[in-house]
Amino acid sequence: MKITRKRLRPVVGAVAVAAAASLALAGCTTSTPSSEASSGGKTITIAQVNEVTSFNYNTPQGNLDINGMINYLTQPQFFTLDQKYNIVHNTDLGTYKKLSDDPLKVEYTLNKDDKWSDGTPMTADDLMLGWAISSCYYDSSKTDDDGNVTSGTQYFTNAGGCIFKTDLPKISNDNRTITFTYKQPYVDWELVNPIQLPAHVVASEIGVSTKDLTQAFLKTPAGDPDNPAPANATLNKAAKLVNTGFDTTSLPKDKKLLVSGGPLQVSAWTPKQSMTLVPNKYYKGKHAVKFGKLVIRFIGDANAQVTALQNGEVDAIQPQASADTLKALKAASGVKVQTGNQVAYDHLDLNFKSSVFSDPKVREAFLLTIPRDEILKSIVTPINPNAKVLDSQIFLPGQDGYDESVKQNGSSEFDKVDIDKAKQLLGGKTPTVKILYNTQNPNRVDAFQAIQASAAKAGFNVTDGGSPQWSSLLPGGDYDASIFGWVSPGAGNTMLPQLFQIGNGSNYNNFNVKEASDLAEQSQSTLDPKKLQDIKFQIDKLAFTNFYGLPLFQSPGLFATNSKLKGVEYFGGQTGIVWNAWDWSK
């Protein structure tokens, strides 16, 4: 084979390619081929349904359970809730105490060596920012029905709304203490956590010094909707950053947004997959964690979470509680299961505006047919064999006051289905009752069917008003009764006026007992715990004696963990499984 020039060309090419390739190879190889273990400490992996969407939990759009968990682990908290929803002050961060009842004055003091995760000390500037975000002090806006601002300025939008009003706080000279003076007594003052985001980060993001930011807060007058002042530029910028600047879909390039003041800090985020948190080395206190890394995997399908736990891919899950999930988890080897109750409960409410139920006798008769025990047995007992029918409209079992209230509120009348008495009360009438419920929630569907069957025995004709769009039908009142669930925060008393005050937006069933309504309103400014408890007892009783409706059951909850993971305890509150992450070890 004679090599001609034409034939040579590919050879030259090949040599060139080979040379280029070997060069590229040299650049593409790695010098440390073996994998090495990362920094000390074990990795704990948990699963969550939703993905993180924001590092600021406290905005309307960021108010998701998972964002709340991240917030709980990475932001300073003046208090936490214990297993029975009691408020526990977190003295590692600082102290807060009531100075006087009238006017209500509360003083917050940070400890001396509190630091953010970038080493900056925590100061009253941070408290001032936290107060500014949650107090709505500066807002001078008026809005139309669609939420468009028509005049004035709205600064911080926060998820909790403006539920308390204070004067401009006072900062102490050592810049560690802040004092709030409330305009009216506020029943849940102990649940106000005035430290949310690091002020130095917010300040540097908007290009001012921390001092300037605090000065802006101190100098800007209180908002007056009728006579709005021109917007303060610094405040506006700060508000814009706080409102949307922490929303993100991946790990922000600007690491300042990740500055943490809690036991953990976010270190990595693979979008759609997982988020990694590592200990905050500046955090000193009881809540310091005992592991090296916490990985939160985002797994949308609850059944997939169960398999992942069985397969050892995650260490702890908080799946939707169902008897089958429970049984499958119990059968799996190396899995520990804990059941309990959530701070949520399902209830049947009677619509006081409906013509059928305008007669208290019909209300009573209908409530007497509700097979609460049967509903409990089919829905909750398989998960939590110790579960009992819920007997209070206000307290949850385990909360201080539940047992006492049950004894006096008259719920015992509805302990058993009493068809005969119901018939007697009806006196031969056969009212038609339309029940609204969520057809997409199997528990509600089952409860509806059970009620339908039982009420029919007394002569009620129960019709199906169920809809997947139940929630938008709820305020309309085109139904006689409704079955749905409330989620309570566990602690606090904001629920009282919502449920029992006449004309309140959440009083869907138009409960119109003046006495209860007044008591509910009064409760919001009652600071004496004993008096408050007494008000609650009275409302609870009024709800039963006026046939408000019936609470059905407390929603069951379920935690399952790898048996290697120690320290996980059941908690029904909204922070979910991570509520005691600092006690975990592996």
Partner 1 sequence: MSTIQGNLPEPGLDGAGMTDADTGAKGESQGRIILRRFLKNKVAVAALIVYLLVLIFSISAIGLGPVHGWWPYSYKQLNPQVNQGAPTLRLWPFSFGAHPFGQDRIGKDYFALTMRGIQNSVLVMIVLGVFATVVGVIVGAIAGYFRGWVDAVLMRITDIFIVIPALVVGAIVGRTANGLGAFGLAALLALVSWMVIARLVRSEFLALREREFVEAARVAGASDARIIFRHILPNAVGVIIVASTLLIASAILLETAISYLGFGIKAPDSSLGLLISLNQSAFTTRPWLFWWPAVFIVLLALCVNFVGDGLREAFDPRQQRFSLRRTREPEPTEADAALAQAGAAGPGDGSGGAGA
Partner 2 sequence: MVSYIARRIGVSILILIAASFIMYVLAASSGDPLQDLEGSSSPNKQALIEARVHSQHLDLPAPVRWLLWLGGVARCVVPIGGGCDLGTTFQNQQVVQLLPQATAATVQLVMVAFVLAVVFGIALGIVTALRAYSGFDYSITLVSFFLFSLPSFLVAVLLKSFIALGYNNFLADPTLSPLALAIWGVLVGLIVQLIVGGAFRKRLLVFLITGALTALVLWFMSATQWFVRPSLGPVVVIVFCAAIGFGFVGLLAGLHNRKAWITAGINVGVAIVCYFGLQWLLNASTFGTLVILAVVAIVVGMLVGFFVGGYDRGLMMRIGALTAFFSAGVIVLDRLMRSWPAYMDITNDRPLATVGSSTPGLEGDVWISGLDTFTHFLLPTLSLLAISFASYTRYSRSGMLEVLGQDYVRTARAKGLPERTVIVRHAFRNVLIPITTLVATDIGALLGGAVITEYVFGISGMGQLFAAGLFRTDVNPIMGYFLVVAITAIAFNFLADLTYSVLDPRVRVR
Name residues contacting partner 1, limited to 328-347 (CB under 8 A).
328, 331
Region near partner 1 per CB under 8 A, out of 55-63, 257-265, 443-451, 478-486: 443-451
- Quick one: what does residue 71 bind among partner 2, partner 1, none, with the CB cut-off 5 to 8 Å set by partner type? none
Residue 425: CB minimum distance to partner 2, A:
32
Pick from 71, 76, 66, 73: which is nearest to 55 by CA?
Answer: 71
- Quick one: what does residue 293 bind among partner 2, partner 1, none, with the CB cut-off 5 to 8 Å set by partner type? partner 2
Going from the C-alpha of 214 to that of each of 164, 177, 204, 218, 495, the distances in angstroms are: 21, 14, 13, 6, 34
Residue 452: CB minimum distance to partner 1, A:
10
Helix locations, 75-209, DSSP H: 124-135, 199-205
Per CB under 8 A, the list member of 442, 461, 515, 566 interacting with partner 1 is: 442
Site track 366-395 with partner 1 (rule: CB under 8 A), x = hit: ------------xx--x-------------
How many residues at the interface with partner 1, by CB under 8 A? Answer: 23
33 or 428: whose CB is closer to partner 2? 33
- Quick one: what does residue 222 bind among partner 1, partner 2, none, with the CB cut-off 5 to 8 Å set by partner type? none
- The set of residues, in sequence order, having a beta carbon less than 8 Å from that of 198 and lying 6+ positions away, is 116, 120, 122, 126, 259, 261
Residue 378: CB minimum distance to partner 1, A:
5
Residue 275: CB minimum distance to partner 1, A:
26
Residue 122: CB minimum distance to partner 2, A:
27
- Decide: is 446 part of the binding site for partner 1 (CB under 8 A): yes
Q: Are strands 105-110 and 142-143 parallel, antiparallel or unpaired?
A: unpaired
Strand order through the sheet with 549-562: 264-270, 274-279, 293-298, 43-48, 316-317, 549-562, 335-350, 481-487, 432-436, 461-464
- Quick one: what does residue 272 bind among partner 1, partner 2, none, with the CB cut-off 5 to 8 Å set by partner type? partner 2
Question: What residues are paired with 557 via a beta bridge?
Answer: 340
Instruction: Label each residue of 428-472 as H, E or C.
Output: CCCCEEEEECECCCHHHHHHHHHHHHHHHHHCCEEEECCECCHHH
Q: Is residue 311 classed as helix, strand or coil in its secondary structure?
A: coil
Q: Are strands 43-48 and 293-298 parallel, antiparallel or unpaired?
A: parallel
Question: What residues are paired with 483 via a beta bridge?
Answer: 348
467 or 510: whose CB is closer to partner 1? 467
- Quick one: what does residue 322 bind among partner 2, partner 1, none, with the CB cut-off 5 to 8 Å set by partner type? partner 1
328 or 365: whose CB is closer to partner 1? 328
Cis amide leading into 103 (omega within 30): yes
Q: Are strands 94-100 and 105-110 parallel, antiparallel or unpaired?
A: antiparallel
Dig out the tokens for 470 from the structure: 């139940």
Residue 477: CB minimum distance to partner 1, A:
20
Pick from 139, 105, 131, 134: which is nearest to 220 by CA?
Answer: 139
- Decide: is 450 part of the binding site for partner 1 (CB under 8 A): yes
- Quick one: what does residue 327 bind among partner 2, partner 1, none, with the CB cut-off 5 to 8 Å set by partner type? partner 1
Residue 471: CB minimum distance to partner 1, A:
15
Per CB under 8 A, the list member of 209, 430, 440, 463 interacting with partner 1 is: 440
Helix locations, 380-440, DSSP H: 402-408, 419-426
215 or 307: whose CB is closer to partner 2? 307
27 or 385: whose CB is closer to partner 2? 27
- Quick one: what does residue 304 bind among partner 2, partner 1, none, with the CB cut-off 5 to 8 Å set by partner type? partner 2
Q: Is residue 561 classed as helix, strand or coil in its secondary structure?
A: strand
- Decide: is 504 part of the binding site for partner 1 (CB under 8 A): no
Instruction: Label each residue of 204-244 as H, E or C.
Output: HHCCCCHHHHHHHHHHCCCCCCCCCCCCCHHHHHHHHHHHH
Per CB under 8 A, the list member of 449, 494, 506, 545 interacting with partner 1 is: 449
- Quick one: what does residue 334 bind among partner 2, partner 1, none, with the CB cut-off 5 to 8 Å set by partner type? none
| Backbone phi and psi for residue 296, each to the nearest 5 degrees, phi listed first | -105, 115
- The set of residues, in sequence order, having a beta carbon less than 8 Å from that of 475 and lying 6+ positions away, is 505, 508
358 or 440: whose CB is closer to partner 1? 440
Q: Are strands 149-151 and 79-81 parallel, antiparallel or unpaired?
A: unpaired
126 or 190: whose CB is closer to partner 2? 190
Dig out the tokens for 143 from the structure: 């809005």
Per CB under 8 A, the list member of 174, 324, 420, 515 interacting with partner 1 is: 324
136 or 314: whose CB is closer to partner 1? 314
Measured at the CA of 556, the angle between CA 553 and CA 558, to 5 degrees, comes to 175
- Quick one: what does residue 165 bind among partner 2, partner 1, none, with the CB cut-off 5 to 8 Å set by partner type? none
Stretch 282-311 residues interacting with partner 1 (CB under 8 A): 302-303, 306
Pick from 240, 486, 481: which is nearest to 343 by CA?
Answer: 486
Region near partner 1 per CB under 8 A, out of 32-40, 410-418, 423-431, 441-449: 441-449
Per CB under 8 A, the list member of 48, 67, 325, 399 interacting with partner 1 is: 325
Per CB under 8 A, the list member of 229, 323, 473, 502 interacting with partner 1 is: 323
- Decide: is 528 part of the binding site for partner 1 (CB under 8 A): no
- Quick one: what does residue 323 bind among partner 1, partner 2, none, with the CB cut-off 5 to 8 Å set by partner type? partner 1
**Residue 382 and residue 380: Cα distance in Å, rounded?**
6
Contact footprint for partner 1 (CB under 8 A) = 302-303, 306, 322-325, 327-328, 331, 378-379, 382, 439-440, 442, 445-446, 449-450, 453, 467-468
